[in-house]
Structure 1
Amino acid sequence: MGAEVKIWNPVEVAEQARKDYATQIHSSQLVIDPSLSFSQMKPLVIKLCKDMFKDWSNLDDSCFEVDKISGGITNLLLKVTVKNGSSVDDTVTIRLYGPNTEYIIDRHRELQATKYITSAGFGAKWLGIFGNGMVQSFINAHTLSPSDMREPKMAAKIARALRRFHHVEVPGSREPQLWNDVWKFFETASTLKFDDSEKKNAYETISFKEVHDEIVELQEVTESLNSPVIFSHNDLLSGNIMVNEEEDKVYIIDYEYASYNYRGFDIGNHFAEYAGFDCDYDLYPNMNQQYHFFRHYIQPDRPNEVSDKDLETFYVEANAYALASHLSWSLWGLIQARMSPIDFDYLGYFFLRYNEYKRRKEGFLSMARSYIAAGKNK
């Protein structure tokens, strides 16, 4: 049931991308250490911009203004504004990959996805690739919070945007990646070694035999739902959704985990993110909130005409696959607890997600099994 664990060397991936897309994007082999202080990082960012963009190569360093946009639990996002003497300043965003994320993210897959997603008009325009990150155009929009995402009008906008996203065509294998990724995470997570005694003791309380059996059971049930395979974002949390209020436009950004996958997973994973990083699962959407989302996803122009049958299908799919989201991200948290230098309680995150999986399991799986049985009896 397992999958080979491959470690993706970001510099090698960047070099391959440079060869693949040499005529379409700018490139540099420079690497910026994301653990540096911002003051240490700033001159390196300016050097990168000069190396990557010829029009900026002879500008004085004073022409570059570097700001930190956000520092999540995976990446660091920077904004660079360049005053080049024209009436309009140039602005780009630079995304630095988090340390050791090559253990959990297939960078080849990400870059392939980014090329076609941005070409389809989603997110920022892809401008360049460097040793451990990428450069994109600046989006004049603000990032949502979990509370923004739950607001009914915004939920409807997100549903419509996600429907469009699911119609993006990306060449290559259309095999759903969920269970390949889950088993890859499982194999890595179940063989970790911790030096920190507190983390070691907490890790040793985990029964990986139990986790293994849960994955097997959930995979069997969800695959019986026959959820359509679409091109999926797979990480639609509030931080990956931006909105320009004046233009009334929703941007879906960051495609590190994007792949072909089950429709139910992308939606169920999104619903799980209503809880935010605080994991307040009392905020998980109820049936009425989910139906509101489904109506605008299924028939954006006539949401009130969606059939009860379609609503039931989506409801069963989304909630069953929300369980898969909890399993997947809980294992991800374990790997990050060992590999990431970022100050975040990844080990605690494992227990929050896994405990929520166990809390919801009986209700969601019973509903899925009843739905499957009813379909077989027709």
Structure 2
Amino acid sequence: MGAIENVMENKESRIPVEAKELLKSLASEWEDVVDRNSLQVIPVKGAMTNEVFQIKWLTKTETFSHKVLLRVYGEGVEVFFDRNDEIRTFEFMSKHGQGPRLLGRFHNGRVEEFINARTLSASDIRDPEISALIAAKLKEFHDLDMPGQKIVRLWDRSRNWLIATKNLSPPEEAKAFRLDAIEEEISTLEKALYRNDQHIGFCHNDLQYGNIMIDEVTKSITLIVSFFFSSLSYNA
């Protein structure tokens, strides 16, 4: 038991102080928690841009534990999205049955409901039954009437990313990756895809298997959203 506690303690050092205070505040709302200051921290694999942890607290029954998911944003991701838009979007999605509930947020991340489901693998998405479930869930996602102005953000966002990339790239790398040519390519795509009758919808834009979870019992699908990828954009 001592060895396990040491491992957990080492993992806890990776959590921002502000996040720890938020977690303790959440735990104080559960009367059956043994010690709100005793966090069990378990890294969750599969996240590409954030650090993600399962947080657990032991309860007085010892047969049940409270769990939440802690998401700490990767360094520099504020370049890609507006935090106020992120929270507004997250809350709207939660109210309409998309993704986990938002339990709290701090400067560099958020705390979410822990979903008892597993993350899909590459082989899962080749399964016709699972693929059909994903398609149905994605249809619900694309039909969300997201509040706010209905504008295409894809092109401005792409140009902002390009500017940020140029600012961070040494001249030799910018030349090797032909960054100067990408601005022209963005404009070419924008003109080619523009139509007066286009439908603008809320898009995921990062639907790789690591962002899809399935409940093995109910067969329900949950889509995990990376907010600097999701946007109002062209629906396929």
Provide the TM-score with structure 2 as the length reference: 0.83
- Partner in structure 2 of residue 259 of structure 1: 231
The residue identity in structure 1 corresponding to 2:23 is C
Please say if 1:223 is aligned against 2:198. Answer: no
Q: CA deviation at 1:207?
A: 2.6
SS in 2 for 1:55: coil
Q: CA deviation at 1:183?
A: 1.5
Write out aligned runs for 1:76-155 (5 A). Answer: 76-86=51-61, 88-155=64-131
CA–CA separation in structure 2 for the residues paired with 1:132 and 1:43: 8
Q: CA deviation at 1:186?
A: 2.0
The residue identity in structure 1 corresponding to 2:212 is I
Residue deviations 1:195-222 (CA, integer Å, cap 9, x gap): xxxxx63433233342222111111111
Write out aligned runs for 1:256-335 (5 A). Answer: 256=227, 257-264=229-236
Residue deviations 1:145-168 (CA, integer Å, cap 9, x gap): 233223322221111100011122
The residue identity in structure 1 corresponding to 2:216 is E
CA–CA separation in structure 2 for the residues paired with 1:168 and 1:150: 26
- Partner in structure 2 of residue 192 of structure 1: 168
- Runs of 4+ in structure 1 off by over 4 angstroms are 42-47, 56-59
The correspondence for 2:11, drawn from 29, 38, 48, is: 38
Please say if 1:235 is aligned against 2:206. Answer: yes
- Partner in structure 2 of residue 250 of structure 1: 221
CA–CA separation in structure 1 for the residues paired with 2:180 and 2:65: 57
Q: Which structure: greater strand fraction? A: 2
Q: Is residue 49–residue 56 contact of structure 1 (8 Å, CA) maintained in 2?
A: no
Q: Is residue 50–residue 56 contact of structure 1 (8 Å, CA) maintained in 2?
A: no
CA–CA separation in structure 2 for the residues paired with 1:212 and 1:62: 50
CA–CA separation in structure 2 for the residues paired with 1:164 and 1:142: 21
- Partner in structure 2 of residue 167 of structure 1: 143
**Which residues of structure 1 form unaligned runs of 5+?**
1-36, 195-199, 265-378
Cα distance change on mapping 1:97 and 1:155 into 2, 3 Å: same
The root-mean-square deviation of aligned C-alpha atoms, in Å, is 2.6
Q: Is residue 65–residue 80 contact of structure 1 (8 Å, CA) maintained in 2?
A: yes
Q: CA deviation at 1:79?
A: 0.6
CA–CA separation in structure 1 for the residues paired with 2:186 and 2:166: 13
Please say if 1:54 is aligned against 2:25. Answer: no
CA–CA separation in structure 2 for the residues paired with 1:192 and 1:80: 34
Q: Is residue 233–residue 259 contact of structure 1 (8 Å, CA) maintained in 2?
A: yes
Cα distance change on mapping 1:202 and 1:151 into 2, 3 Å: farther
Larger radius of gyration: 1
Alignment length (residue pairs): 223
Cα distance change on mapping 1:83 and 1:46 into 2, 3 Å: farther
Residue deviations 1:17-68 (CA, integer Å, cap 9, x gap): xxxxxxxxxxxxxxxxxxxx73522695654411444326995367432111
Q: CA deviation at 1:172?
A: 0.7
The correspondence for 2:182, drawn from 189, 207, 211, is: 211
CA–CA separation in structure 2 for the residues paired with 1:68 and 1:96: 11
